[in-house]
Amino acid sequence: MNDKQTTQEKIFNRYYRIFIIPMIFLLYYLLSYLVNPYSKYWSLTTTRSWDDLLAEGVVMMLICWLITELSLISARLMDKWIPWERWPVRRFITQVCYQIILVFILLKVVMIILTFIFGPPPERGDSGPEKLDEWQFVFVCVMLSILISAVHTGNYFLQRWKTSMLEAAALKLNAAELQQIAMQAELQSLKLQLDPHFMFNNFSTLSALIQEDKNTALAFLENLSRVYRYMIINLNNDIITLREELKFIQAYTYLIQIRHGENVDIQTDIPEEIITRGIPPITLQLLIENAIKHNVASAAQPLHIHIYLNGEGKLTVSNNVQRIASNMPSTKLGLQNIRNRYRLLSDLSTEIKEENGSFLVMLPLLDF
């Protein structure tokens, strides 16, 4: 328990006593009257002097205070020895019996002290009504003690519930933070998967160009630098605007034209009103590279790649299917990368299908 909790508990206990002791004092007389409204005590009250009534009130307030303190002390001790969570039935029986014994001992001690201070009380005889009044007094005190313990127990459970709710909320918050950290780490890992394959292909092309055409090699290197700079800048960005991605694709398309010439035809058809929407960075580049990797692209069989907005409002990348004959099965790493990034960034999912000789990847646009 920290210092703040300890201070709050002390403040609560102080005001708790200020409230509960007068309430117990009033409840004593209320319960006494309800238990036996025809007691001779009530009829004699109007004939007694104010000094007697005041003295009795002080003594009863003292008794109520002692009952309150002893009941709270015993309840706290039992919270340690016989906690409700482990032995509820044993705790209930033990606490009730303990309260009864405690009240009997307390009242006996109080009577001895009062006799020592004020002298023995006047003889009242052994008549039934008088004995009934004495037992009524003891019974009401026992009930008050049990009531105080019940209030303490209710407050105990309320505080435990409050603490458990705060702990659950803290654990939930920590779990959410850890999940967010894990998601960011996974997202960074997915982004880094793009670099090796992309750079290997383009450096191979650049190496060949240097030997054949230095001017074209310089232009290729300049566009490659722009593309790679874009990838580095956006490595830490989860979402970018479609406008930025399309500018990147323009530079990337130049690299593709140098590598494949007219064998690969890339067309974009994007309405102006959606270019401020979001998309995971380097997604279009990955889809274009994936289409080229798995399909024949030649003068006789050119590969047509089309980027457009479909009727459902999704950004769509399509290509004609003319797969390369290979014994090596596709790992589908690129498509899985895109799926995972969308899964981490939103509740929206990508849709991939093949129909009428075309392979389509439909990407939902994201909001910032």
How do 315-320 and 303-309 pair as beta strands?
Answer: antiparallel
Quickly list H helices, the chain: 3-35, 40-45, 50-81, 88-118, 128-192, 194-212, 214-233, 242-260, 283-294, 333-345
Q: Is a pLDDT exceeding 50 seen at residue 246?
A: yes
Q: Does the CA dihedral 199-205-208-213 come out positive or negative? A: negative
Task: Sketch out the chain's domains with CATH numbers.
Answer: 3-186 (no CATH), 205-363 (3.30.565.10)
pLDDT of residue 293: 85
pTM above the 0.75 mark?
A: no
- pLDDT greater at residue 249 or residue 71: 249
For all residues of the chain together, what is the average pLDDT? 78
Amino acid at 200: F
Q: What is the pLDDT of residues 84-105, one digit of tens each?
A: 778 878 888 887 888 788 888 8
- Lowest-pLDDT choice from 17-26, 66-75, 184-193, 358-367: 184-193
Q: Supply angle C-alpha 225, 229, 235, rounded to 5.
A: 145
* Selection from 72-76, 119-123, 310-314, 332-336 with the highest mean pLDDT: 310-314
| Cα 139 to Cα 148: distance, rounded to the nearest angstrom | 14
Hey, which residues does 354 pair with through a beta bridge?
Answer: 359
Q: What is the pLDDT of residues 23-67, one digit of tens each?
A: 777 887 787 778 777 777 676 777 777 877 787 778 778 887 887
Query: Would you give the DSSP letter of residue 282?
Result: T
| 93-98 own/partner pairs: CB under 8 Å, 24+ apart | 95/149, 96/146, 98/74
pLDDT of residue 290: 85
Q: What is the pLDDT of residues 121-167, one digit of tens each?
A: 655 555 555 666 677 777 777 787 777 777 777 777 777 788 788 88
Tokens matching residue 14: 């102080």
- The contacts of residue 106 (CB under 8 Å, 6+ apart) are 63, 66, 67, 70, 141
Question: What average pLDDT does range 239-252 have in this prediction?
Answer: 89
